[in-house]
Amino acid sequence: MSELVKSAFREYYFKHAARAIEAPDAIESREFGYAQLGVPGMVRHLSFRSVGELVATLVREVPSDVYCSNALYRFPTLAMQEKQWLGADLIFDIDGKDLDLPCVPSHSYPVCAACKRVSSPIGDDDDDEKSKEYSCPACGGRKAEQLISIPCARCVEGSKKEARRLVEFLTGDLGIDKGRVNVYFSGNNGFHFHIKDDSYRPLDSQARSDLVGYLAGVGLMAESIGVRRSPQGEFVKFPKSGLALGWRKKVADRLKIDQSSAVRLTHILKEKGGYAGFKAELDRMTREMGVRIDPQVTTDVHRVFRMPGTLNSKSGLAKVKCDLDRLDSFDPFTEACLLGSAKTKVKVKTHVKFRLKGEPFNISKETAELPAFAAVYLVCKGLAEAV
């Protein structure tokens, strides 16, 4: 990582860390870790007695990324098997790259596997992507080793849609108080959820996995909706507990049925070709209505999670809290863009378009003078180098 990024990060932590960093409760029982600019791996098994102690370390070390455990430990600085786990907060990660959004090809920049040349996006969400093939403009290579994506407003809206859906599940299906649901922009392309409810802390990995399965709509039985089978064939018999709650209600509403709709559900069953066909349609339906979250983040009870108020080295943007009542209007490209505006020269690797702090950038020149926040963003993305 360049000196430009390190200088910008240092200025941020020096000026803003004291008020921007959101310390977790029971800070002395948490494990902390951070990655260093240009250094592989992570410094882990750290402990702080106060947020002031933590801030002093950030200002001194200027980390690229800062993490805090969702778990509480009796001895957070010891090796994992010796920490003595006391429970873990419930957390979720919605990552825009996992949502298969149609706009992504139009703002993904391929990097040639042979010569490392970065070129302009080869796809557009209005075009037939299958008809497009990558060819490096420098060496003619046909293989891209990676795609560098600059999230757009449609990406953010896609992530917000999943976030709103997760809030509905947590507050509606699980009955979690809305005030205990804390939502943060991740600092790059998604949202993090921290559930501040002590009753979930004792859950082990399996229980959290079961919860993820429920939220994602995995494994709902056809019998739960009233479709059953016997040696004599398929038939409809609604559950005695009804269709008024949870996934039963969601599916019933989608199928436009209730406890009095045996004839309609029988017709749907026949239309889908019997039990197997109905179950396949049910699986498709629940996947569509479920929430797409990263299961590993939620099920890992020893995970270190990006800390609110710290910078993300993939973008130079900060992880910032989003008020649930104004999630719709939240603009991460403005509200999470907290670096300075000093003019900085960079060498841009390809023609690039993006928007930060309400300002559009459309850069086609090889060398450009940009505000520091925009220059750092491109360098962190791998689309520019400091001059």
Annotated catalytic residues are 93, 95, 294
**Joined tokens for residue 211:** 């919860």
Beta bridge partners of 345: 369
Cβ(133)–Cβ(142) below 8 Å: yes
CA distance 313 to 230: 57
Give the end-to-end CA distance of the chain in Å, rounded to a whole number. 13
**Joined tokens for residue 34:** 């951070």
For 219, the 3-state DSSP assignment is: coil
234 burial level (CB within 10 Å; 0-12, 13-18, 19+):
middle
CA distance 73 to 315: 31
CA distance 351 to 329: 29
DSSP 297: H
In degrees and rounded to multiples of 5, residue 194 shows phi and psi of -120, 120
Q: What angle do CA 76, 70, 189 make, to 5 degrees?
A: 135
Cβ(318)–Cβ(309) below 8 Å: yes
Cβ(321)–Cβ(191) below 8 Å: no
Cβ(361)–Cβ(354) below 8 Å: yes
Complete edge-to-edge strand list for the sheet that includes strand 320-322: 90-95, 190-195, 181-185, 320-322
**Joined tokens for residue 37:** 């600019």
